[in-house]
Structure 1
Amino acid sequence: MSTLAEQRAGTAPAALTPRLRLVLVVLLAAQFMLAVDFSILNVALPVIGTGLGFPLARLQWIGTAFALCAAGFTLLFGRIADLFGRRRLFLGGLVVLGAASLAGGLAQTPAVLLTARVFQGLATAAVTPAGLSLLTTSFPEGPLRQKALGLNGALMSAGFTTGAILGGLLTDLLSWRWAFFVNVPVAVAVLFVAPAVIAESRPAVRPRLDMPGAVTVTLGLLAVVLGLTQAGEHGWGSPAALLPLAAGVVLLIAFQAIERRVAEPLVPLGVLGRRTVAWGNVAGLIAFVTETSLVFLLTLYLQEVLGFSPLAAGLSFGVLGIGTVVGGALAPRVIGRTSPTTALVAGGTVQAVFTAALLFLGTGHGSLGLLLAATFAGGVGNMLVIVGFMVTATSGLADHEQGLATGLATMTQQIGITLGTPVMSAVATAAMAGTDVLAGLKTAIAVNAALVVLGTLTSAVFLRRRAR
């Protein structure tokens, strides 16, 4: 297979060999499983709450326990992969993921389930950056790598929708426990094949671990996610929410100061200062925060307001999946004929309009037609933004900066996915008046649409200025 040494020597293959195809299948299977894992429990949350005794206001902790670790430890584990080997961390993370999924499926108490979710989050924080690094180092720079990264992005997006559908099927036909168990055979299969086809990958010169930066950014992200979650339970003005949020902001400011001084920073600020990288990642963050959290909100709407079964709710998101496929096919044409910024602005506008249309949802089944049409069109718009974000955030950089740019884009994706549900859950819970679930959901949908508008405006203002 292709190794770093082969690439430096110019002997890397110019076409996909059978061995490289197997490498691609193994890595994409792992990444697809992780994407499914983000959304597979959304549809099952009400059933899990009933089965294990979670009240509605605390259901978000099933997602937040996962999100805290998946978002907070991504940068740290990415650096650990550079230090001790990407394949080693990739395989170790899969072992933890399989064991935690088995424990979650067997859980009989909320404490055991939440513990399993914590370890699933830690495993995701390890496997995602390690897997992407293995993908980029296994394929030579150029068309092969671009194809691999394109397939990775498409499967990640498809995985979120597949998770919602699969979660509904498993919960309705078998049990919510299979939403955990399904990870186990996939993890075992990847662990069986990966050691034989994927070579170890680490830099020729081992970098130093920026421990002060790693600690501050990890604790800062953990504090921010915790504060957002507490806002949903205790109110946005409560000390339980404000103290973690304030601590998170202080820690992230400290992280920025540290990165300016250390010789080998965790995240070089010079690259972050580029307009395309900075504002491209802002657009990507908002795209992932809004669309993934919208699935959670609409899951609650379908089950708690319309009374749908988990299976029916999951199948309803198949229309959103079709929309993302259409958007993924349309995006390269839009970018080729116009520009990445046009894709960002046009996609954001479409997503904002059709997210706002969901404010007209009612308590009758007649609203289902509106929901399906809006999620389809919103999915098309969201995928235009995601592809535009990936192109924008990795363009205009030297070859030796491409790995960092791709890593930052992956971190943006990871944080956006993990933060979205806790943020919107906190907004919806805080806005619920007594048992008026629909009022709380509409408030969160309005905030969701406003965030999309904000992302679209920042792209239009700051990225078009760059184009001129």
Structure 2
Amino acid sequence: MTRWRALIVLGTAQFLMVLDTSVMNVSISQLVEDFDTEVTAIQAVITLYALVMAAFMIIGGRLGDIFGRRRLFLLGLVVYATGSALTAVAPTLWVLTLGWSVIEGLGAALVLPAMAALVAESYRGRDRAVAYGVIGGLAGAGIAVGPLLGGWVTTYLTWRLVFAGEVVVVIAVLCFHGAIKETPRAGPPPRLDGVGAALSAAGLALGVLGVLQSGTWGWVRPRNPPFTVLGFSPTLFVIAAGVVVLAVFLHWERRREARGAEPLVHLPLLRKSALRSGLMSLVSQNLILLGLFFTIPLYLQVVQGFDAFQTGLRLLPVSVTMLAASMCAARLGRVAGPRTVVRLALSTLAAAIVWLLATIDPVIDDAQFAGAMALLGVGMGLLASQLGNVVQSSVGEEERSEAGGLQFTAQNLGSALGTALIGSLLIGALAHTFTSQVEDHPALSEEARQQTGVALEAGITFVPTDQVRSAAERAGLPPSEVEAVTDSYASAQLDGLKAAILATGGITLVSFLVTPHLPTRRAGRPKRSDTGGTAGATGPAR
């Protein structure tokens, strides 16, 4: 049991990071009410949390190389607990953003790459495969427990208690920090590439910002932007600026390597096809998962009117089957190979999304919805069971911290894009459908259409239909037109939800394109890696 103490400490940190986001997702409606804001504002807070982690994850991995992974792990926990404490007492949305999105995000960016490297350093051979399986299982447990725990606490007490509890858990983990061991680094530590760090963070931030605001600004035609560019929406220009900054980052990194200076990212790492495919699959996995976990709670809470606990109960099937599948699929990966398991996972996800689309109705069919959620969890569990070890098994011992940074950057970039892109598509589809229905509705007068058009120009958000009905009544519309506007909005809500879920299905199908270079090795059949060694030199690629 002594040899697993380090894993208990490291795994608890992984559990906390996953629990955090799942609690937020089921508390969206309560957060909107508590801070007197809109769904799009909470969407921005959730996106910013993932973006901060994505932008600083590589930097966190490099700092672990410089100052020591154990030290960075413990420092990150202290930063994370500070953010949790501030979130627990946040009086305004801005304080919530600072505590959760920024400070907790920075703490996680220090903790997660160090955790991945410390697991690899603490265990070898079969023990390492078991350790990664446990870490993946704990991530699944966080997803399983988060919606139910967060929903119950939010409904019957307050969501703030979850973050206060995180502080207590972090203090307990710090009390057992002696279980974590680290081999002293031989030779001088590397230096941080400050320019590369700034360029990578800025490029990712601009790209995700453009995607996040697309629902408000519009993609090409301006909807409600703070400014326009040559008469067009600034969305594509902001995204393009992010791409340009990332291109400059790559050029800078190549120049540093050519001069013999230490880069932020060793770009030759990305020439390893298995690593590259693993990272792209991680982006897809989290884009799909977080996109759905943002959209589905809106359907349950805003359309169906369920509270946070009722929402958590209906998300329980996906959580349970994801945990079970991720724990059981490790053996399947050793028998069939990661590529086969990932393709099976994507096929399962596509089937689950088609089933889920059929359940999006004004009145929920709980049995059908639970079945779709359970199948979705199986697909996600199969996917999650393979990719972490594929990434870590693609690199050598000295590259583990950097690979951990890339791994969690990919995960959180996918999370940020999932919430931003799917959320913006949801709002965009809602606005387009509502506009069309109002214009074509025979029961609405020209005056009602004009008033609705003015409201749409000011911006549209995802709210309960009762709020739309109240707004129409305050505008002085007659009862028949109030009902017509309300019905049009309710129909547009369902169309927006279906468009968002359908988009995740499209991403699932596109994800098949990145699977050809995933490892195919089965148990007892080593495959040569890109660098000439065995792909499984660091343990079996589950």
TM-score by length of 1: 0.89
Q: CA deviation at 1:408?
A: 3.0
Q: Deviations over 1:388-434 (max 9, x none)?
A: 33344344655555554454333322332343222221221222135
1:421 to 419, 427, 431: 419
After superposition, the CA RMSD in angstroms is 2.4
2:107 to 116, 123, 126: 123
Q: CA deviation at 1:212?
A: 2.4
Distance in 1 (CA, whole Å) between partners of 2:175 and 2:75 is: 13
Distance in 1 (CA, whole Å) between partners of 2:116 and 2:518 is: 27
8 Å contact from structure 2 (residues 339, 520) kept in 1: no
1:322 aligns with 2:378: no
8 Å contact from structure 1 (residues 321, 379) kept in 2: yes
Distance in 1 (CA, whole Å) between partners of 2:202 and 2:340 is: 36
2:225 equivalent in structure 1: none
Structure 1: runs of 5+ lacking an equivalent: 1-16
Distance in 2 (CA, whole Å) between partners of 1:189 and 1:396 is: 34
8 Å contact from structure 1 (residues 284, 412) kept in 2: yes
Q: Deviations over 1:47-100 (max 9, x none)?
A: 111111111232212212312211111111211121122222222222222222
2:478 equivalent in structure 1: none
2:186 equivalent in structure 1: 204
1:335 equivalent in structure 2: 333
Query: What SS does structure 2 have at the residue aligned with 1:61?
Result: helix
8 Å contact from structure 1 (residues 41, 179) kept in 2: no
**Structure 1 letter corresponding to 2:84:** S
Q: Deviations over 1:370-395 (max 9, x none)?
A: 22111211211122222233344344
2:507 to 438, 441, 451: 451
Q: What is the 5 A alignment of 1:253-272? A: 253-262=247-256, 263=260, 264-272=262-270
1:174 equivalent in structure 2: 157
Q: What is the 5 A alignment of 1:380-399? A: 380-395=378-393, 397-398=395-396
**Structure 2 letter corresponding to 1:197:** A
Provide closer, same or farther for how the CA distance between residues 286 and 202 of structure 1 changes in structure 2, counting only shifts above 3 A: farther
Provide closer, same or farther for how the CA distance between residues 148 and 392 of structure 1 changes in structure 2, counting only shifts above 3 A: closer
**Structure with larger Rg:** 2
Provide closer, same or farther for how the CA distance between residues 381 and 173 of structure 1 changes in structure 2, counting only shifts above 3 A: same
Distance in 1 (CA, whole Å) between partners of 2:254 and 2:353 is: 39
Q: What is the 5 A alignment of 1:229-378? A: 229-237=212-220, 238=222, 239-262=233-256, 263=260, 264-378=262-376
**Structure 1 letter corresponding to 2:246:** L
Query: What SS does structure 1 have at the residue aligned with 2:129?
Result: helix
Query: What SS does structure 2 have at the residue aligned with 1:41?
Result: helix
**Structure 1 letter corresponding to 2:509:** V
8 Å contact from structure 1 (residues 134, 201) kept in 2: no
Distance in 2 (CA, whole Å) between partners of 1:103 and 1:372 is: 36
Provide closer, same or farther for how the CA distance between residues 87 and 423 of structure 1 changes in structure 2, counting only shifts above 3 A: same
8 Å contact from structure 2 (residues 390, 519) kept in 1: no
1:134 equivalent in structure 2: 118
Q: Deviations over 1:338-377 (max 9, x none)?
A: 2221111111011012112222223344432222111211
Q: What is the 5 A alignment of 1:13-92? A: 18=2, 20-92=3-75
1:215 to 181, 198, 208: 198
Distance in 2 (CA, whole Å) between partners of 1:113 and 1:464 is: 42
Q: CA deviation at 1:463?
A: 4.8
2:540 equivalent in structure 1: none
Provide closer, same or farther for how the CA distance between residues 380 and 396 of structure 1 changes in structure 2, counting only shifts above 3 A: same
**Structure 2 letter corresponding to 1:448:** T
Distance in 1 (CA, whole Å) between partners of 2:183 and 2:27 is: 38
Q: CA deviation at 1:192?
A: 2.4
1:12 equivalent in structure 2: none
Provide closer, same or farther for how the CA distance between residues 30 and 335 of structure 1 changes in structure 2, counting only shifts above 3 A: closer
Query: What SS does structure 2 have at the residue aligned with 1:204?
Result: coil
Distance in 2 (CA, whole Å) between partners of 1:365 and 1:141 is: 52
**Structure 2 letter corresponding to 1:380:** V
8 Å contact from structure 2 (residues 133, 385) kept in 1: no
Provide closer, same or farther for how the CA distance between residues 336 and 462 of structure 1 changes in structure 2, counting only shifts above 3 A: closer
1:103 to 86, 97, 100: 86
**Aligned residues: percent identity?**
33
Provide closer, same or farther for how the CA distance between residues 252 and 203 of structure 1 changes in structure 2, counting only shifts above 3 A: farther
